[in-house]
């Protein structure tokens, strides 16, 4: 734990803020899950919050690939075919998110979870090609794992 804290302390302030925002981004998932768990029939949020918030976050995860393509330093390292693949991939999470919102049964949570898994797989693949900052890929792994656990538990509760 001391090693983790010492590595965190030497990060730039802006990186610390990004990590904090990423972690705080879990709160709507957690609050929504607790609401489903405790108030299944009389929801405080009146919607399946993990599902709707998850669809928004899934769209956000896809949109970051536009930023990768716009980052001229990063794209110098990759082939044109991969650039086109990244552009096409960047819209797929949004399409999955819309599909999740259209489907009105518990299966939509499985699609949402698969979307997060696919985004993580793409991140891992691109990390080998363009080298994301180490802190970022670690943060993504942790956040994705927590989100997947919440989505699986959400699926179990609403099924």
Count: domains in the chain = 1
Give the relative orientation of helices 134-158 and 107-130 as an angle to the nearest 10 degrees.
170
Res 63 pLDDT > 90: yes
pLDDT tens per residue, range 70-113: 876 666 777 889 889 999 999 999 999 999 999 988 999 999 99
pLDDT of residue 114: 98
Contact 142, 25 (CB under 8 A): no
**What's the number of CA atoms in the CB half-sphere (13 Å) around residue 52?**
10
pLDDT of residue 54: 96
What's the pTM?
Answer: 0.89
pLDDT tens per residue, range 26-62: 999 998 888 888 877 676 666 788 999 999 999 999 9
Residue 40: domain span: 2-158
DSSP state of 12: -
pLDDT tens per residue, range 109-157: 999 999 999 999 999 999 998 888 999 999 999 999 999 999 999 999 8
């Amino acid at each position: 734990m001391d090693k983790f804290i010492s590595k965190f302390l030497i990060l730039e302030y802006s990186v610390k803020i990004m990590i904090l925002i990423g972690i705080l981004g879990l709160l709507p998932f957690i609050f929504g899950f607790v609401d489903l768990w405790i108030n299944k029939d009389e929801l405080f949020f009146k919607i399946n919050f993990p599902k709707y918030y998850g669809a928004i976050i899934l769209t956000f995860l896809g949109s970051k690939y536009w930023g990768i393509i716009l980052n001229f330093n990063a794209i110098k390292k990759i082939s044109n075919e991969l650039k086109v693949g990244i552009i096409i991939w960047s819209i797929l999470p949004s399409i999955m998110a819309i599909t999740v919102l259209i489907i009105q049964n518990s299966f939509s949570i499985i699609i949402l979870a698969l979307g997060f898994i696919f985004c993580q797989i793409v991140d891992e693949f691109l990390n080998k090609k363009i080298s994301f900052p180490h802190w970022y890929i670690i943060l993504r792994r942790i956040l994705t794992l927590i989100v997947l656990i919440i989505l699986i538990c959400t699926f179990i509760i609403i099924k």
